[in-house]
Structure 1
Amino acid sequence: MQAHDADGQEKTSRMKSLLHPTRAVALGFLIAIFVGTSLLMLPLSHAEGQAAPWLVAFFTAVSAVCVTGLVVVDTGTYWSTFGQSVIMVLFQIGGFGMMTAATLLGLMVNRSLRLRTKLITQVETHTLGLGDVSSVAKLVLVVTFVAELVVAAFLALRLHFGHDLPWTEALWSGLFHAVSAFNNAGFSIHPDSLMRYATDALILLPVMMAIVVGGIGFPVLHDLRFKVRDPRHWSLHTKLTLLGTGILLITGFVAVLMFEWTNPKTLGVMSMPEKLLSAAFASVSARTAGFNSIDIGALTHESWALHYFLMFVGGGSAGTAGGVKVGTVAILALLVIAEIRGHSDSEAFGRRVGPSAQRQAITVLVLGSAMVVLGTLVILRTTDFPTDQVIFEVISAFGTVGLSTGITAELPASGQLMLTLLMYFGRVGTITLAASLVSGERRMPYRYAEEHPIVG
Structure 2
Amino acid sequence: MAARATDGRINAPAGRRIRDAFDRIRDGARKLTTASPARFALLVFLVLILLFTTLLSLPAAAASGRSTPFADALFTAVSTICVTGLSTVDMGTHWSPLGQVIIYVGVNVGALGVLTLASILGLIISKRLGLRAKLIAAGDTNPLRVHGGPVNEGQTVMLGEIGSLLATVALSTLIIEAALAIMLYPSLLVGGVDPLAALWEAPYYAAMAFTNTGFTPTAGGLDAFQHDYFFLTVMMAGVFLGSIGFPVIYTLARHRWHVRHWSLHAKLTIITTVLLFFAGAAVFLLLEFDNPKTFGDRDAWDTVFQSFFLSAMTRSGGFSVVDVGSLHESSLVVGSMLMFVGGGSASTAGGIKVTTLAVLALAVWSEAKGRPSVQAFGRRIPSDVQRVALSVVAWGATIVALSTIIITRMTKAPLGDVLFDVISGFATTGLSTGLTEQLPDPAKYVMALTMFMGRVGTVTLAAAVAASSRSQLYSLPVERPIVG
TM-score by length of 2: 0.85
The match for 1:176 is 204
The match for 2:138 is 104
The answer to whether the Cα contact below 8 Å between 2:115 and 2:140 also exists between their aligned partners in 1 is no
Match of 1:352, SS state, is strand
Deviation at 1:415, TM superposition (A): 1.0
Q: Deviations over 1:331-352 (max 9, x none)?
A: 1111111222222211111111
CA 1:59–1:210: 2 relative to 1, 3 Å:
same
The answer to whether the Cα contact below 8 Å between 2:245 and 2:347 also exists between their aligned partners in 1 is yes
Q: Deviations over 1:155-214 (max 9, x none)?
A: 112111x11221111121111111011001111123332133111112101111010001
The aligned runs of 1:161-200 (5 Å cut-off) are 162-200=190-228
CA distance in 2, matches of 1:276, 1:185: 24
Q: Check if 1:274 corresponds to 2:288.
A: no
Stretch moving more, 314-323 or 223-232: 223-232
The answer to whether the Cα contact below 8 Å between 1:103 and 1:318 also exists between their aligned partners in 2 is no
The match for 1:28 is 44
CA 1:378–1:104: 2 relative to 1, 3 Å:
same
Deviation at 1:106, TM superposition (A): 4.4
CA distance in 2, matches of 1:357, 1:421: 27
Q: Check if 1:52 corresponds to 2:68.
A: yes
The match for 1:4 is none
Deviation at 1:107, TM superposition (A): 6.1
Stretch moving more, 195-204 or 349-358: 195-204
Name which one, 1 or 2, has greater alpha-carbon Rg: 2
CA distance in 2, matches of 1:112, 1:48: 44
The match for 2:159 is 130
CA 1:147–1:371: 2 relative to 1, 3 Å:
same
CA distance in 2, matches of 1:232, 1:255: 32
Q: Check if 1:397 corresponds to 2:413.
A: no
- Measured on the aligned residues, the alpha-carbon RMSD in Å equals 2.7
CA distance in 2, matches of 1:437, 1:255: 39
Match of 1:76, SS state, is coil
The aligned runs of 1:93-242 (5 Å cut-off) are 93-98=109-114, 100-101=116-117, 104-106=138-140, 125=154, 127-160=156-189, 162-242=190-270
CA distance in 1, matches of 2:148, 2:257: 26
The match for 1:417 is 445
Q: Check if 1:74 corresponds to 2:74.
A: no
Q: Deviations over 1:406-447 (max 9, x none)?
A: 011211111111100000000013251476699889974322
Deviation at 1:288, TM superposition (A): 1.1
| The one of 237, 243, 256 aligned to 2:284 | 256
| The one of 416, 420, 429 aligned to 1:388 | 416
CA distance in 2, matches of 1:276, 1:103: 41
CA distance in 2, matches of 1:109, 1:56: 32
Q: Deviations over 1:375-397 (max 9, x none)?
A: 01101111121100000011011
CA distance in 1, matches of 2:408, 2:138: 39
TM-score by length of 1: 0.90
CA distance in 2, matches of 1:263, 1:163: 27
Deviation at 1:228, TM superposition (A): 2.4
The answer to whether the Cα contact below 8 Å between 1:173 and 1:189 also exists between their aligned partners in 2 is yes
Give 1:104's aligned amino acid: A
Q: Check if 1:350 corresponds to 2:378.
A: yes
The match for 1:366 is 394
Match of 1:75, SS state, is coil
CA distance in 1, matches of 2:114, 2:32: 20
The match for 1:324 is 352
Give 2:105's aligned amino acid: V
Match of 1:199, SS state, is coil
The answer to whether the Cα contact below 8 Å between 2:294 and 2:322 also exists between their aligned partners in 1 is yes
The answer to whether the Cα contact below 8 Å between 1:105 and 1:435 also exists between their aligned partners in 2 is no
The match for 1:5 is none
Deviation at 1:114, TM superposition (A): 12
CA distance in 2, matches of 1:156, 1:67: 23
The answer to whether the Cα contact below 8 Å between 1:249 and 1:283 also exists between their aligned partners in 2 is yes
Match of 1:347, SS state, is strand
| The one of 80, 94, 108 aligned to 1:64 | 80
CA 1:91–1:286: 2 relative to 1, 3 Å:
same
CA distance in 2, matches of 1:344, 1:88: 49
**Amino-acid identity (%):** 39
Q: Which runs of 5+ in 2 are unaligned?
A: 1-23, 118-135
Deviation at 1:453, TM superposition (A): 0.4
CA 1:374–1:107: 2 relative to 1, 3 Å:
closer
CA 1:14–1:115: 2 relative to 1, 3 Å:
same
The answer to whether the Cα contact below 8 Å between 1:111 and 1:130 also exists between their aligned partners in 2 is no
CA distance in 1, matches of 2:29, 2:167: 31
Number of aligned pairs?
A: 442
| The one of 354, 369, 372 aligned to 1:341 | 369
Give 1:71's aligned amino acid: S
The answer to whether the Cα contact below 8 Å between 1:323 and 1:400 also exists between their aligned partners in 2 is yes
The match for 1:3 is none
CA distance in 1, matches of 2:326, 2:418: 15
CA distance in 2, matches of 1:345, 1:439: 29
The answer to whether the Cα contact below 8 Å between 1:285 and 1:291 also exists between their aligned partners in 2 is yes
The answer to whether the Cα contact below 8 Å between 2:339 and 2:429 also exists between their aligned partners in 1 is yes
Give 2:103's aligned amino acid: I
Q: Deviations over 1:298-335 (max 9, x none)?
A: 11111100011011000000010000100111111111
